[in-house]
């Protein structure tokens, strides 16, 4: 399925290039997945004491993933109970399996939303628009 922004940026770049008299640009390469943003939230109505009792083992297992290079960045959410990780994993299925194997995941107390990330491809526009001001 065509991604509208991808086509649009290429179109905008081609328009700008045509306006400046340069040759039309070939389609840029597809954007690679380089990281996954994982936002984990505690299930509503979860037993808070049960979550707290699992935190030490959860944090040891999370620190292990960090030391193995799977977790690149880690944060607590500040508007609700949960975490946000930037993972050095590019396959969402592998990321889900990894996070589900953590203690809170196995207890079905923490569920993750996964968003694959890549380079901010609209930046490519800066390479094609002539800036001769």
Partner 1 sequence: MKVFAIGRFTQPLSAEEKARILPREVPDTLKLYLDGKIEQFWFRLDQPGPIFLMNGSVDEARAALDKLPLVQAGLLAFELTPVGPLSPLGVLIRGE
In the complex, the residues that contact partner 1 under the rule CB under 8 A are 3-6, 8-9, 11-12, 15-16, 31, 33-35, 37, 39, 55-56, 58-60, 62-63, 74-79, 83-84, 115-123, 125-126, 129
Q: Which of 90, 95, 113 is nearest to 34 (CA)?
A: 90
φ, ψ for residue 126, nearest 5 deg = -65, -20
Nearer of residues 12 and 100 to partner 1, judged by Cβ = 12
Cα radius of gyration rounded to whole Å, the chain:
21
- CB of 7: closest distance to partner 1 in angstroms? 9
Structural contact between residues 16 and 128, judged by C-beta atoms closer than 8 angstroms = yes
- CB of 100: closest distance to partner 1 in angstroms? 19
- CB of 125: closest distance to partner 1 in angstroms? 5
Q: Which two tokens stand for residue 11?
A: 């179109």
Calpha distance 77→19 (Å, rounded) = 46
Nearer of residues 31 and 88 to partner 1, judged by Cβ = 31
Nearer of residues 92 and 100 to partner 1, judged by Cβ = 92
Structural contact between residues 104 and 57, judged by C-beta atoms closer than 8 angstroms = no
Nearer of residues 74 and 100 to partner 1, judged by Cβ = 74
């Amino acid at each position: 399925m065509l991604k509208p922004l991808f086509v649009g940026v290429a179109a905008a770049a081609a328009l700008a290039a045509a306006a400046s008299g340069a040759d039309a640009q070939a389609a840029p390469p597809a954007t690679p997945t380089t990281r996954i943003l994982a936002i984990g939230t505690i299930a509503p109505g979860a037993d808070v004491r049960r979550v707290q009792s699992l935190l030490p083992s959860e944090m040891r297992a999370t620190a292990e993933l960090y030391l193995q290079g799977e977790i690149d960045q880690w944060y607590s959410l500040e508007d609700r109970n949960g975490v946000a990780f930037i993972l050095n994993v590019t396959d969402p299925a592998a990321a889900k399996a990894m996070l589900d194997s953590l203690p809170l995941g196995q207890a079905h107390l923490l569920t993750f939303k996964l968003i694959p990330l890549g380079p901010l491809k609209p930046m490519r526009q800066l390479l094609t628009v002539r800036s001769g001001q």
